[in-house]
Structure 1
Amino acid sequence: MSSRRTIDWVAVHQAALHDQIRHADLLEFGVLSSTIARRVEAGVWDRSAYGVISLAGTPRTEEQRLAGAVLYAGRGAVLSGAAAARLHGLERVPKDPNGTALVLVEHGRHRVSRPPITVVRTHRLPTPTEIHGLPVAPVTRAVVEAACRMTAFDDLRALLAEAVQRRFTTARALRSELESGCGRGTARVRPVLAEIEDGVRSVPEAWARSLAASIPELPPMMWNPRLVLEDGTILADPDGWLDDVGLAWEIYSFRHHADPDAFGDTMRRQARMTGHDVHVVAHTPRQLREERPQVRRDLLAAYAAASRRPRPAVRVQRAA
């Protein structure tokens, strides 16, 4: 009589998460340790994380890699940080060359980090959202966790600006999450979040804000305000705005204006503003980086020119 074990392989694959399954679960299904070792050695399976087996061989997809991290972290684990932000659909998230996965677990759990898996114990384990079958932290938590681990200001700016600009979250929600966190890395995030709270919605706008603030002859500039006519009709949302003289500052980003429709919208917006006597000055991100003295001169000249004209009959619509 054969002593070969009968394994329900269909059930094994159904129990796997993106073809990743815990070594202990394979044993529960009756798979022998020797069988697991033999298949891993032959390259049919692979060890995607400590105690986790990839039934598809070496993990090839982001979902497989993250599934291995979740299974390693154990019951109740929640993905956060950069990988979670990408799963939510954010695009301005720098790729980690080490493929680090950030996983949150209850504070009472004692699971150590094993690169490239970073395990963070927290008293505030969030209720996850399921994305592609993976437990993912809410987008605001994921963005803040990712931001606190970035070191480049422009990467931080791009992520926070995209999250707010595309309405994944709000500056107020980001501030609340930042103040509720553990504090690690927040010193780098705070000045960038202050830019977002001031109305900045892109990296070039952040450069522009810094430059404008360095010109003592100019009053404080508003960022992305909504301009309306006297009857309440919406006129435009310029990038920068000096309200005392009605001067608009536009930053023509190639990333945005490479889209012909977006560039057309920009030209129509500028035409509407000039048609209502708004003085408009425009620069590119490259000018902001490489021609700062000239940009300063342009702004001062535009401010002086706008000062000599009657202020246009437009006003800033205050937030409700």
Structure 2
Amino acid sequence: MNHNTPLTPAASRPARRLPGGQRRVLSTAQLRSLGVSPGEMNEQCRSGGPWQQFLPGVYLLHQGPPTSEERLHAVLLYAAREVAAPAVPAQPEPGQPHRPVYREAMITGLAALTLHGFASAPALPSLDRVDVLVPRLRRLRSTGCAHVLRAAALPTPEEATGVPVAPVPRALADAVSQLTDGGTVRRLLSEAVRAGHCEPAAIIRELDQARLLGRPHVVDAVDALLAEGRAIAEDRLYAMVREFGLPDPVWNVDLRLPGGPHLGGLDAYWPQQAVAVELDTRAPRQEEDALWSEYVRKREHLERLGITVVYVTPRKLREGMEQQAAVVRTALMASGDRDPAAYVVVLPR
């Protein structure tokens, strides 16, 4: 038999045993579980045959380029330690899709951001390679469109369009590690916060762990991110007061003792009740530094003067606005049971 000899019915038998529809990309192990021998796999992939080997140990059961979905599954099949389960159960349980379970592998980087719905991330067909995250000790090389990235500890994957993807902060860090254009980095970080995917603190934590905060274009993007994150948090604070019927405070003020020192700035202050709200927008790496010490000193000083300070994080405002409103309302109601606060001068900030 030469390469131009048509396939015999015996050589084409595997194609009739295999799934159609969505599962048109399978690994060597899956094909073997279906009774396809290595010789039959090679025969199907010969010139003029119906299949192609797309990545090592991964086959497309058709000729021509893969779809974006097939490429994602092919990369995961190449990188993952797949849970032992047949590709096509003989008797699938009712309501259970024939969906592979990928172990120790997930899509990350720009491809993951696209799957998370980022408008500023490129379309999947335009990506020359797909980043896949695996444990650091895995012996696996990048090949073809599969670009292997490693982590000492894998994050818990999320699911998007039926494939496991890294959470947004990790996917951002993996994408940023390969980007040199500051504008692209700023757009991605900004969309992550503006679209509600995550808070600035989570992004900065991942960038810090990836040792990316020393790159000038990343530092500039992070500065812009923190400014935008604070603006979004302030808008949510305004919405909390409005939507939950809290009394109107004075916004963005500085407090001073009469003829005395500056006491600090506050995002919201109720003078009659001597209750203040301050947004805690510190970056994660600042939790134990001088800025946190300053937060503590200011709070202790104000409370000695009889002023109750409520610290609110952007995440709490996003995920539990009603609960934060209840905390502030309780502090306002409790003001009548406290001794009067010291007189302070309230100035616009």
Q: So what's the TM-score if we normalise by structure 2? A: 0.52
Q: 1:26 aligns with which of 7, 10, 31?
A: 31
Q: Distance in 2 between matches of 1:83 and 1:185?
A: 25
Q: C-alpha offsets along residues 77-118 of structure 1, whole Å, 9 cap, x if unaligned?
A: 111001011111111013585521111111121101113211
* Structure 2 residue matching 1:130: 3-state secondary structure: strand
Query: How many residues end up aligned between the 2 structures?
Result: 215
Matched, 1:72 2:78: yes
Matched, 1:94 2:94: no
Report if the CA contact (8 A) 2:11-2:40 is conserved: no
Report if the CA contact (8 A) 2:76-2:132 is conserved: yes
- Structure 2 equivalent of residue 63 of structure 1: 69
- Structure 1 equivalent of residue 161 of structure 2: 132
After TM superposition, the structure 1 = structure 2 runs for residues 226-265 of structure 1, keeping only pairs within 5 Å, are 226=235
Matched, 1:38 2:43: yes
Aligned-residue sequence identity (percent) comes to 28
After TM superposition, the structure 1 = structure 2 runs for residues 152-167 of structure 1, keeping only pairs within 5 Å, are 152-167=181-196
Larger mean CA deviation between 71-80 and 42-51 belongs to 42-51
1:8 deviates by 7.8
Residues 67 and 54 (structure 1), Cα distance of their counterparts in 2 relative to 1, 3 Å cut? same
Q: Distance in 1 between matches of 2:130 and 2:139?
A: 17
Q: Distance in 2 between matches of 1:176 and 1:228?
A: 24
After TM superposition, the structure 1 = structure 2 runs for residues 181-220 of structure 1, keeping only pairs within 5 Å, are 181=210, 183=212, 187-199=216-228
Quote the RMSD (CA, aligned, Å): 3.7
1:170 deviates by 1.1
Residues 89 and 113 (structure 1), Cα distance of their counterparts in 2 relative to 1, 3 Å cut? same
Q: Tell me which structure has the larger Cα radius of gyration.
A: 2
1:190 deviates by 2.7
Q: 1:83 aligns with which of 102, 111, 119?
A: 111
Q: 1:143 aligns with which of 152, 160, 172?
A: 172
Q: Distance in 2 between matches of 1:114 and 1:185?
A: 30
Residues 37 and 185 (structure 1), Cα distance of their counterparts in 2 relative to 1, 3 Å cut? farther
Note the residue ranges of structure 2 that are not aligned, 5 or more in a row. 1-9, 82-103, 244-251, 254-312, 318-349
Q: Distance in 1 between matches of 2:77 and 2:194?
A: 34
Q: Which amino acid in structure 2 is aligned with residue 65 of structure 1? A: R
* Structure 2 residue matching 1:103: 3-state secondary structure: strand
Q: Which amino acid in structure 2 is aligned with residue 93 of structure 1? A: A
Residues 8 and 42 (structure 1), Cα distance of their counterparts in 2 relative to 1, 3 Å cut? closer
Q: Distance in 1 between matches of 2:237 and 2:221?
A: 28
Q: Distance in 2 between matches of 1:182 and 1:121?
A: 14
Q: 2:139 aligns with which of 110, 115, 122?
A: 110
1:28 deviates by 3.7
- Structure 1 equivalent of residue 261 of structure 2: none
Note the residue ranges of structure 1 that are not aligned, 5 or more in a row. 202-221, 235-242, 245-317
Q: C-alpha offsets along residues 206-250 of structure 1, whole Å, 9 cap, x if unaligned?
A: xxxxxxxxxxxxxxxx89954999xx769xxxxxxxx99xxxxxx
Report if the CA contact (8 A) 1:17-1:133 is conserved: no
Report if the CA contact (8 A) 1:129-1:137 is conserved: yes
Q: Distance in 2 between matches of 1:165 and 1:200?
A: 8
1:10 deviates by 7.7
Report if the CA contact (8 A) 1:178-1:186 is conserved: no
After TM superposition, the structure 1 = structure 2 runs for residues 47-58 of structure 1, keeping only pairs within 5 Å, are 47-58=53-64
Residues 51 and 104 (structure 1), Cα distance of their counterparts in 2 relative to 1, 3 Å cut? same
Report if the CA contact (8 A) 1:105-1:120 is conserved: yes
Matched, 1:173 2:202: yes
Q: Which amino acid in structure 2 is aligned with residue 198 of structure 1? A: A
Q: Distance in 1 between matches of 2:112 and 2:175?
A: 9
Residues 200 and 122 (structure 1), Cα distance of their counterparts in 2 relative to 1, 3 Å cut? closer
1:140 deviates by 1.8
* Structure 1 residue matching 2:53: 3-state secondary structure: strand
- Structure 2 equivalent of residue 311 of structure 1: none
Report if the CA contact (8 A) 1:148-1:186 is conserved: no
